[in-house]
A and B are shown apart, each in its own frame.
Chain A
Amino acid sequence: MFNKTLKGAMTAASMLALCAGAATAQDEKHKVFLSMSYIGNDWQAEASNMVKAMAAHESMADKIDLQVQVAGPNAQRQIQQINAMVQSGADAIVVFPISPTALNNVVKNACDKGVIVIAYDGEITEPCAYNVTIDQTEAGKVTAEWLVEEMGGEGKVMLLTGVPGTSVDAARTAAAKEVFEDAGVEVVGEAVGMWSQAVARTELSKLMSTRSWDDIDGLWLQVGCYTANSMQLEAGRSAEELLPCAGEGSNGGRIQMLPAGTEVEGASGAYMPLGARRISYASPPYSGALALKLAVSMLEGAEVSKLTTLPLPVVTSDTVQLCETGSWEEMRDGCNAFLPSIVSNPGWFASIFSSETPEVGLNAALVGQPEL
């Protein structure tokens, strides 16, 4: 009995010592916060997984202590959150900004206290913030140009935009419309797609209720090509007749782009190779992980430019290639689509490769595990 108690006490004491040790180790680590927006969509979940994987990578794990907080869709809350992070002694804050402008004052306050603020995907317009993003105007332009070329420079297109009132949507849509106008391509229908496959289905149904797929020559859908292809198949069109579609970078779309008849493990329904004519692009979910990496390098004294523009992750039907395992090395060699048996969700974002982030691969995006 006594022995047991003694043992217990000793264990407790050694644990205390361990904790104390851990605490002192933690004190030496940089305190880094991640302020995310909404958690309830695939993109955010992947981005957050990749950031966590980056933080867990052996090159990072003993340098930083990462805490993740989610603000939801509310900019007011993100303002409060960032302030709370500054107050609790953050060295760097990685942020997915809900609004490019609403955070300016609180970010300025953070900068003044010597905190590094680095935004990914969205931009923060406050000059002291660092931004990691793709050029959304370029994205709209490149995809529209591809579509015009696929259509032979003429015909009718339908558009599905993103969330109205956001900078990303405004930039992409304006750039694409300019291309269509210059080329003389007619926009015959335009609906708000909210960057959601479910909304895309409803809106495309509305658009198609008074039209036939034969009346249209091309589709420019920020999110919805996967759904549009399913709908065309349901309407009785064959895989060869699918309209060229410029749209999202989801894995479902990438699999559809593979030549019809390709053997793919786990394919079912519309989630199968169709040889669809596509250009596939998206804001890449690795941007958060890269932002974290940049923040850490700044904490270690490196110079980083205020604006990091990521290469536009564009994949076309000609460049699509299936991955076997999804390791970073394999992606470096050019693969960009993943087996449905591994990625069961067709809406999952496939643009996860960056030459800058060898720490994270498919497992990082799926389950938050870094590469070895």
Chain B
Amino acid sequence: MNTQSMTGQPQGSIPRIRQDLRRHQAVLVAIAVFVGLFGLTNAISPYPLTYFDVSFMASGGMTLALAAMGQTMVILSGGFDLSAGATVSLVNVVLATQMDPADFEANVALWTAIGIGTGMVVGAFNGFFVAVLRLQPIVVTLATMFIVQGLTLLIMDKPGGFVSPSLGGFYLGDAVPNLLPASVLVIGVAVLFWVWLKNTRYGVSLYAVGSDPAAAEASGMRRMLTVFLTYTFAGGFYGLAGVFVSAQTGSGDPLVGNSLLLPMFAAVVIGGTRLGGGRGGLLGTVFGAYILMIVVNMLLTLNISAYYSTIAESCVLLAAVLAGSMSKDSPLAQKLQAAGDYLLARRGGLLVSQREQVDRRLPFSAPAGGARVAQARPASWWKANASTLRYALPAYGALLLVLIVTQVTLGNVFNNFGYWNTLLVLSAFLAILALGQGAVILTGGLDLSVPWTIALSGILVAGVVQGSDVALVYAVPLVLGIAVAIGFLNGLGIVALGLSPIVVTLAMNGLLQGAALLWSDGTPAGFAAPALRWIMTGKLLGVTPVIPLLALFIIGAVLMLGHTAFGRRIYALGNSEEAARLSGVKTGRVLISVYILSALCAALVGILLTGFSGQASLGMGDDYLLPSIAVVVVGGALITGGRGHYMGMFGGALLLTAMQMLLAGTSLPYAFRSVFFGFVILAAVIALRDRKGG
């Protein structure tokens, strides 16, 4: 069924078929990998797989597959949806609390509709802000994620509730006994729905908008409606995933969807959909999801230590993406070709750098002379920095507001040095991460390997120093050296293999997690050196010693991004990689340096966090990934790159920390805080909105 629908009607000529094959290479690779893995599972399994096993595997991967299908639509439109996992949880608790516990024969169609509807409402909420207000999808969905998580906990604060067995009977049962599990049928129907949708006017404009929104609009497509519908449809898929997970578990759990988010992106990418939009499809995603699931099954069958599971998943992710993008004109092939050409040219003595070093400047490019520059009346500082201020100031404005509210509700802010001291110490982590993540975002990338770079660095530093100050002398350089290697590999994967930054850093995160587990054997040992603890918790002339260091860091960061050639190259790259390359920027080198910078910042945070809490723990970096992105965006940077000032990001770090301090001080339930936090992020990006033509 799959190959037929993929290669189209047989009426095309042979080149047409080859073209189609090329176009669907990634999907075909995903299907081939799936079939291969399935065969392998069958081979290593101690007994032949029965219908029951297949049925169970089909339903086991279905929640992920359905949710990832929704995510694929969003990604096809050029967006990114962080609220997907939270929406699955929301639908699960809505069903579990609203169903009548006495009704064992609840109407499957009705409750499925309610679940899908709930998901679509969340999707429409996302869609409104992304499509109508033109806000950056990643921030909108991040805010929605917090809001939905809060709502979920308000509806149900602990696992429980009741989901009628009729739902389970339907979704986990057989469509045709001993032949077709219902879950396969549901996936099939979802895929057919997609095939139909793809060929409607909406489907065509989805791909067009994802490829080039401006061109799509210019050719008369309704961008706004398309994007809005995309998020709404995606919400529907999350809703169906929520219905399925409810049927599968027979109850509600407010945290059930949280762990779906990262595997979802992996499934999308393995299935051949390009991050950034415009290419891919939902069928590949289904296979991507099942590949991930089958890999886990294989690890179970082979009884491989769980320490290796994230490593194996990362390797599958990388291998699948590489295989899907292999071709004559893939970046890797081009890079190899270029390297070959370089060697040839070098041997022939034809390289530019091998020519005589004489001044070849054209007359008009001679320096204009200092005098003329001095004559030109410099624009006022305000005017010259207007756009920077426009994007950086809202964070500080909001910060002032939060401070005033804190003063009014809790007191002890403006007259209390301790408050400022705490604010700066706690902001230091995000401020440092903001430089690394910010530089990556300025180039148009994203570093998802931050959490486990932090954790691995913290664990290494605690484990190596074992509470000795002397050991810091070699432990810190060692950890920073490892960070350089991590960043270099991230950059190399992106530049040389031509993979999406999200894929490379996501895989790196998994590899580092495995490394941290293996190195610490599951329980990190050792503790921070006294000197390190003093920096984070001691007092020097009344302030915590990290604060003057933070001031130096900020000055260095501003100078680096704003006043060095490296900084200018970062912005150039973010605005247009092609233009930067043609202007003589060695883009590859800059990209690699940026990822090294990000890894170094993350490692520094890992070291400081270890000093702050005295020990390192495995999950210590998990709470810093999404905030590190949020502060950069709230600070005025554009998630697609090219725009943003470090002082704005620092303002974002202060704002987020101050707000958390305010919320921690109140006795509001956590659920409300989460909702509130989401709305503030949303408000911040609305304030930063680009007012095109207005």
Question: Which A residues form the contact surface with B (CB < 8 A)?
Answer: 36, 39-42, 44-45, 48, 67, 69-70, 72-77, 79-81, 83-84, 87-88, 99-105, 125, 161, 163-167, 169-171, 187-192, 196-199, 201-203, 205-212, 227, 230-231, 234, 268-270, 344-347
Can you list 23 pairs linking A and B with CB atoms under 8 Å apart?
A39-B307, A40-B618, A48-B522, A67-B303, A75-B253, A75-B256, A79-B249, A80-B60, A84-B300, A84-B301, A102-B256, A105-B168, A164-B153, A165-B159, A166-B158, A167-B159, A187-B667, A202-B426, A203-B664, A205-B426, A206-B664, A269-B530, A346-B615
Once the chains bind, are B664 and A198 in contact (CB under 8 Å)?
A: no
Once the chains bind, are B413 and A210 in contact (CB under 8 Å)?
A: yes
- Nearest-Cβ distance from residue A200 to partner chain B, whole angstroms: 8
Residues on A with beta carbons closer than 8 Å to the beta carbon of B406: 210
Query: Other CB < 8 Å A-B pairs besides A69-B300, A165-B152, 4 of them?
Result: A39-B517, A40-B517, A166-B159, A269-B614
Residues on A with beta carbons closer than 8 Å to the beta carbon of B251: 101-102, 104, 125
Once the chains bind, are A79 and B60 in contact (CB under 8 Å)?
A: yes
Q: State which of B416-424, B440-448, B469-477 sits at the interface with chain A.
A: B416-424
Alpha-carbon distance A76/B260, docked complex (angstroms): 9
Alpha-carbon distance A44/B618, docked complex (angstroms): 12
Once the chains bind, are B159 and A41 in contact (CB under 8 Å)?
A: no
Once the chains bind, are A344 and B522 in contact (CB under 8 Å)?
A: no
Instruction: Pick the most buried of B63, B426, B525: most chain A CB atoms within 10 A of its CB.
Output: B426
Alpha-carbon distance A67/B304, docked complex (angstroms): 11
Alpha-carbon distance A104/B246, docked complex (angstroms): 11
Once the chains bind, are B250 and A72 in contact (CB under 8 Å)?
A: no
Residues on A with beta carbons closer than 8 Å to the beta carbon of B612: 198, 201-202
Alpha-carbon distance A69/B300, docked complex (angstroms): 7
Residue interface bits B421-446, CB-to-A below 8 A is 1, else 0: 01101100000000000000000000
Once the chains bind, are B297 and A80 in contact (CB under 8 Å)?
A: yes
Once the chains bind, are A74 and B300 in contact (CB under 8 Å)?
A: no
Once the chains bind, are A347 and B615 in contact (CB under 8 Å)?
A: yes
Residues on B with beta carbons closer than 8 Å to the beta carbon of A171: 158
Residues on A with beta carbons closer than 8 Å to the beta carbon of B525: 344-345
Residues on A with beta carbons closer than 8 Å to the beta carbon of B537: 230-231, 234
Residues on A with beta carbons closer than 8 Å to the beta carbon of B620: 196, 198
Contact A197/B301 with A101-B249, A209-B423 known, Cβ cut-off 8 Å: no
Once the chains bind, are A87 and B410 in contact (CB under 8 Å)?
A: no
Instruction: Pick the most buried of B47, B56, B64: most chain A CB atoms within 10 A of its CB.
Output: B56
Once the chains bind, are B60 and A165 in contact (CB under 8 Å)?
A: no
Contact A206/B661 with A40-B618, A76-B63, A166-B159 known, Cβ cut-off 8 Å: yes
Instruction: Among A41, A164, A206, A210, point to the contact of B617 (Cβ < 8 A).
Output: A41
Alpha-carbon distance A96/B253, docked complex (angstroms): 16
Residues on A with beta carbons closer than 8 Å to the beta carbon of B660: 206
- Nearest-Cβ distance from residue A94 to partner chain B, whole angstroms: 16
Once the chains bind, are A76 and B60 in contact (CB under 8 Å)?
A: yes
- Nearest-Cβ distance from residue B69 to partner chain A, whole angstroms: 16
- Nearest-Cβ distance from residue B167 to partner chain A, whole angstroms: 11
Alpha-carbon distance A79/B249, docked complex (angstroms): 9
Interfacial residues of chain B within 612-629, with CB under 8 A of chain A in the complex: 612-615, 617-620, 623
Once the chains bind, are A42 and B523 in contact (CB under 8 Å)?
A: yes
Instruction: Among B293, B306, B416, point to the contact of A39 (Cβ < 8 A).
Output: B306
Q: Which residue of B lies closest to A168 (CB)?
A: B158
Once the chains bind, are A84 and B297 in contact (CB under 8 Å)?
A: yes
Interfacial residues of chain B within 576-614, with CB under 8 A of chain A in the complex: 609, 612-614
Instruction: Among B296, B419, B665, B671, point to the contact of A164 (Cβ < 8 A).
Output: B671
Residues on A with beta carbons closer than 8 Å to the beta carbon of B166: none
Contact A210/B411 with A79-B248, A202-B426 known, Cβ cut-off 8 Å: yes
Alpha-carbon distance A98/B425, docked complex (angstroms): 35
Does B157 reach chain A (CB closer than 8 Å)?
Answer: yes
Once the chains bind, are A205 and B172 in contact (CB under 8 Å)?
A: no
Alpha-carbon distance A36/B517, docked complex (angstroms): 15
Residue interface bits B62-75, CB-to-A below 8 A is 1, else 0: 01100000000000
- Nearest-Cβ distance from residue B291 to partner chain A, whole angstroms: 14
Q: Which residue of A lies closest to B418 (CB)?
A: A209
Alpha-carbon distance A187/B47, docked complex (angstroms): 59
Does B255 reach chain A (CB closer than 8 Å)?
Answer: yes
- Nearest-Cβ distance from residue A125 to partner chain B, whole angstroms: 7
Does B160 reach chain A (CB closer than 8 Å)?
Answer: yes
Residue interface bits B380-407, CB-to-A below 8 A is 1, else 0: 0000000000000000000000000010
Alpha-carbon distance A75/B466, docked complex (angstroms): 36
Does B276 reach chain A (CB closer than 8 Å)?
Answer: no
Once the chains bind, are B523 and A345 in contact (CB under 8 Å)?
A: yes
Residues on A with beta carbons closer than 8 Å to the beta carbon of B254: 164-165
Top-4 shortest CB links A-B = A40-B618, A70-B306, A101-B251, A170-B158
Once the chains bind, are B159 and A101 in contact (CB under 8 Å)?
A: yes
Q: Which residue of B lies closest to A173 (CB)?
A: B157
- Nearest-Cβ distance from residue A369 to partner chain B, whole angstroms: 15
Q: Which residue of A lies closest to B416 (CB)?
A: A210
Residues on B with beta carbons closer than 8 Å to the beta carbon of A102: 159, 245, 248-249, 251, 253, 256
Does B493 reach chain A (CB closer than 8 Å)?
Answer: no
Does B670 reach chain A (CB closer than 8 Å)?
Answer: yes
Q: Which residue of A lies closest to B609 (CB)?
A: A198
Once the chains bind, are B618 and A41 in contact (CB under 8 Å)?
A: yes
Q: Which residue of A lies closest to B410 (CB)?
A: A210
Once the chains bind, are B248 and A105 in contact (CB under 8 Å)?
A: yes
Once the chains bind, are A198 and B538 in contact (CB under 8 Å)?
A: no
Once the chains bind, are B522 and A40 in contact (CB under 8 Å)?
A: yes
Contact A72/B523 with A79-B60, A187-B667, A210-B411 known, Cβ cut-off 8 Å: no
Once the chains bind, are B46 and A88 in contact (CB under 8 Å)?
A: yes
Once the chains bind, are B419 and A210 in contact (CB under 8 Å)?
A: yes
Contact A69/B665 with A105-B248, A269-B614, A345-B523 known, Cβ cut-off 8 Å: no
Q: Which residue of A lies closest to B172 (CB)?
A: A105
Does B259 reach chain A (CB closer than 8 Å)?
Answer: yes
Does B288 reach chain A (CB closer than 8 Å)?
Answer: no
- Nearest-Cβ distance from residue A135 to partner chain B, whole angstroms: 15
Once the chains bind, are B259 and A209 in contact (CB under 8 Å)?
A: no
Alpha-carbon distance A41/B291, docked complex (angstroms): 29
Q: Which residue of B lies closest to A268 (CB)?
A: B467
Q: Which residue of A lies closest to B669 (CB)?
A: A190
Once the chains bind, are B664 and A80 in contact (CB under 8 Å)?
A: no
Contact A208/B157 with A40-B619, A165-B255, A270-B614 known, Cβ cut-off 8 Å: no
Contact A234/B538 with A75-B253, A75-B256, A191-B664 known, Cβ cut-off 8 Å: yes
Once the chains bind, are A208 and B530 in contact (CB under 8 Å)?
A: no
Alpha-carbon distance A77/B299, docked complex (angstroms): 12
Alpha-carbon distance A69/B307, docked complex (angstroms): 10
Residues on A with beta carbons closer than 8 Å to the beta carbon of B46: 88
Interfacial residues of chain B within 506-533, with CB under 8 A of chain A in the complex: 516-517, 522-523, 525-527, 530, 533
Residues on A with beta carbons closer than 8 Å to the beta carbon of B426: 202, 205-206
Residues on B with beta carbons closer than 8 Å to the beta carbon of A211: 412, 665
- Nearest-Cβ distance from residue B305 to partner chain A, whole angstroms: 8
Does B500 reach chain A (CB closer than 8 Å)?
Answer: no
Residues on B with beta carbons closer than 8 Å to the beta carbon of A41: 523, 617-619
Does B334 reach chain A (CB closer than 8 Å)?
Answer: no
Residue interface bits B653-668, CB-to-A below 8 A is 1, else 0: 0000000110011010
Alpha-carbon distance A75/B623, docked complex (angstroms): 20
Alpha-carbon distance A171/B160, docked complex (angstroms): 13
Q: Which residue of B lies closest to A196 (CB)?
A: B617
Once the chains bind, are A87 and B53 in contact (CB under 8 Å)?
A: yes
Residues on B with beta carbons closer than 8 Å to the beta carbon of A269: 467, 527, 530, 533, 614
- Nearest-Cβ distance from residue B48 to partner chain A, whole angstroms: 12
- Nearest-Cβ distance from residue A47 to partner chain B, whole angstroms: 11
Alpha-carbon distance A101/B211, docked complex (angstroms): 43
Residues on B with beta carbons closer than 8 Å to the beta carbon of A210: 406, 410-413, 416, 419, 661, 665
- Nearest-Cβ distance from residue B55 to partner chain A, whole angstroms: 11
Once the chains bind, are B158 and A165 in contact (CB under 8 Å)?
A: yes
Residues on B with beta carbons closer than 8 Å to the beta carbon of A81: 300
Once the chains bind, are A101 and B416 in contact (CB under 8 Å)?
A: no
Q: Which residue of B lies closest to A198 (CB)?
A: B613
- Nearest-Cβ distance from residue A230 to partner chain B, whole angstroms: 7
